[in-house]
């Protein structure tokens, strides 16, 4: 809860990427992003969106 309250004081926007490692941590495959969450903290309330990448 503190991080959510403090984030607008330090960041204008945030992008959080989620993905998978098809070959695991020791595999040689590239990371496959599945979706990205966007937060624009300059708006009140914060603007949010999710973009599916797969």
- Please give the model's pTM, rounded to 2 decimal places: 0.74
**Strand ranges in the chain using DSSP code E only, listed in sequence order:** 13-20, 32-40, 47-52
Place 20 in a pLDDT band, splitting at 50, 70 and 90. very high
Kindly indicate the confidence band of residue 18, based on its pLDDT and cuts at 50, 70 and 90.
very high
Separation of first and last alpha carbons in the chain: 31
Which tokens sit at 42?
């300059």
Structural domain boundaries in the chain: 2-52
Average pLDDT rounded to a whole number, residues 4-21:
92
pLDDT band with cut points at 50, 70 and 90 for residue 8: confident
Res 1: pLDDT: 75
**pLDDT above 70 as % of the chain:** 100
């Amino acid at each position: 809860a503190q991080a959510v309250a403090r984030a607008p004081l330090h960041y204008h926007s945030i992008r959080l990427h989620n993905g998978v490692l098809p070959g695991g941590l020791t595999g040689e495959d590239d990371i496959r992003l599945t979706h990205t969450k966007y937060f624009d903290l300059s708006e009140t309330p914060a603007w949010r969106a999710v973009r599916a990448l797969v």
